[in-house]
Structure 1
Amino acid sequence: MRALVIGLGLVVAALLIGTVLSIPLFALGGTSLAALTAAIILSEAGYAIAGWLYFRRWVSESVPITLPTPRQGVWMIASTLLMLGIATGVSALGTVFDVQLGRLDQDLIAGKPTMMLVMAALSFVLIAPAEEYLFRGVIQQRLMRSMRPSAAIVATAFLFVIPHAIGYLGRAEGVLLLSTVPFSLAVVMGVLYERVNNLSVPILAHACYNAILFLTAYVTGF
């Protein structure tokens, strides 16, 4: 229970830090390309800052991160394809059952094709590294001290849903269905991290997944 509280506290801290850093930019710059880019950078930085502060103060071991081996590269590609398949399946279910799937971040960048390209690039340099560092490198690693790996992976996945579900729009069934995507992504990334013990592998898989979605939206929407 203490480990879960710590994990939840880190998620809340990351959200608060990101909000405090990014809100002034929305107030001053609105939804311009520069303001949105800076706000996203500062918001995502909240994950890295929260994780780093906790790790620096209470954790003695280091986060394992090295260049992926060829075998790890295969796992990375397979995980990326699996996550893309899950996202496609969820989207198809939403269409079949006429469930409205909406996201606040998509609404903010709607009509800004350049922003899609910026988000694809940020996925590699900030979004995936910051989120994977906090959720896999810090939270999952902390939970695994107190529970079995499978339980730690699932618990981390539930925590991973929280910051993503906050930005979902629509009715409860839409939010629930859409939440299965980050939950599944977190489970896949958690298993991947546990298997290879190298944070760079889930970072790259997460980044590739995000970038493919953004580039697909750019090509099909603009």
Structure 2
Amino acid sequence: MDTPQRSSSSTPTGGPITAVLVAIGLSAFGIAATQVTTAPAFLLEPGLATAPGEAPVSVRTLFFVLNFLGFVLAGAIYLAVTNRGWDYVDLRVPTVRDWLYVVGGIGVSILFYVVVALLLTVIDLPASENQVVEFIGGDPEMVLIMIAIVFFVNAPAEEFLFRNVVQKRLYDAFSRMQAVVGASLIFALVHLPVYVINADSALATAVSLTVVFGGSLIFGYLYAKTDNLVAPTAAHAAFNAVQFALLYLGMVLDLESVESTPTGLLAAVGPVVGW
């Protein structure tokens, strides 16, 4: 049976309610920080707010880089304020066991989203449009850039904040698996405003949030089992890269209505694991 994992920091951690409130606050702070860090991109190209797909590729790239750096900033401020320091970050060279978890995580995540895509198609369930699709704007070049971004910025930043900071904070008051579920719920809920805006119905919002929650469970589990941030980061990056690669192929092969197919749905819905 899992037991609560205590922090190595001397900072008082409080009980379950405190842990949940801190985790929610950290997630909200991370989202708020992205609004600040992305400001330079909007100053360079005001049209980014109304027609992101028409902005120069360089500005769209800058936006995504600055957006995810906001998560790093939020996590770094938390570590500094609580005197945890960078030793709190679980980064080490992966063992063979860690890599096995990474490979398994990639396989399970892809299977999960294939099943989701098929269900969306067969049952004809609605889903919110992914914000990333708006920024890509049907541009294959931007899709390739997004593959680089998920490896070097997106996955590292999100896993650092939502796994190594938020999920690990929950270890102080809950079992490992309870913390995985709790962090995943929080991760899904912070996406609620975006999906409410982009969704055509409450059902579409619920479907998208469920997909985000499921994906977060997979990566949270990898972190809980390995205590190594490299594991969920590598699996997250590889998974999103596969999705963008599918989207890229759909574009360059000029497939009709790529988003209406299971592969297209996989590519369009999948990246919401972080966006």
The TM tier, using the shorter chain, reads: over 0.9
Kindly report the root-mean-square deviation, in angstroms, between the aligned alpha carbons of the 2 structures.
1.6
Q: How many residues align?
A: 222
For 2:91, the equivalent position in structure 1 comes to: 65
Q: How does 1:41-80 map to 2 (within 5 A)?
A: 41-60=65-84, 62-80=88-106
Q: Which residue in 2 is equivalent to 1:114?
A: 141
The code of the aligned residue for 1:132 comes to: E
Contact 1:66 1:198 in 2 (8 A): yes
Q: 2:157 maps to which residue?
A: 130
1:62-101 map, 5 Å = 62-101=88-127
| Structure 2 counterparts to residues 158-173 of structure 1, below 5 A | 158-168=185-195, 169-170=198-199, 171-173=201-203
CA distance in 2, matches of 1:165, 1:212: 25
Specify the structure having the higher radius of gyration (Cα): 2
Contact 1:105 1:167 in 2 (8 A): no
- Alignment-derived partner of residue 209 in structure 2: 179
Cα 1:36–1:197 change in 2 (3 A) is: same
Alignment CA distance shift 1:166-1:40 (3 Å) = farther
Q: Structure 1: which 5+ residue stretches go unaligned? A: none
The match for 1:210 is 240
Instruction: String of CA shifts for 1:165-184, please: whole Å, max 9, x gaps.
Output: 44333222122112222211
Taking the TM superposition and a 5 Å limit, the aligned residue runs for 1:8-19 are: 8-19=24-35
Equivalent position of 2:60 in the other structure: 36
Deviation of 1:70 (Å): 2.0
Q: For structure 1, which segment, 76-85 or 14-23, has the greater mean C-alpha deviation from structure 2 after superposition?
A: 14-23
Percentage of matched positions with identical amino acids: 29
SS in 1 for 2:92: coil
Aligned-residue offset at 1:27: 4.8
Whether the 8 Å CA contact 2:57–2:142 is kept in 1: the answer is: yes
Matched, 1:189 2:216: no
Q: Which of 186-195 and 98-107 deviates more?
A: 98-107
Decide whether the 8 Å contact of 2:126 with 2:207 is kept in 1: no
CA–CA distance in structure 1, aligned partners of residues 118 and 224 of structure 2: 30
Report if aligned partners of 1:90, 1:177 keep a CA contact under 8 Å in 2. no
User: Which consecutive unaligned segments of at least 5 residues does structure 2 have?
Assistant: 1-16, 49-54, 253-275
- In the superposition, the TM-score normalised over structure 2's length comes to 0.76
Q: 1:163 to 1:113 in 2, by over 3 A?
A: farther
Cα separation, partners in 2 of 1:116 and 1:164, compared to 1, 3 Å: farther
Distance in 2, Cα, partners of 1:82 & 1:166:
28
- For the 8 Å contact 2:109–2:218, the answer to whether it is kept is yes
Equivalent position of 2:169 in the other structure: 142
- How far is the alpha carbon of 1:52 from its aligned partner? 0.9
CA distance in 2, matches of 1:165, 1:113: 28
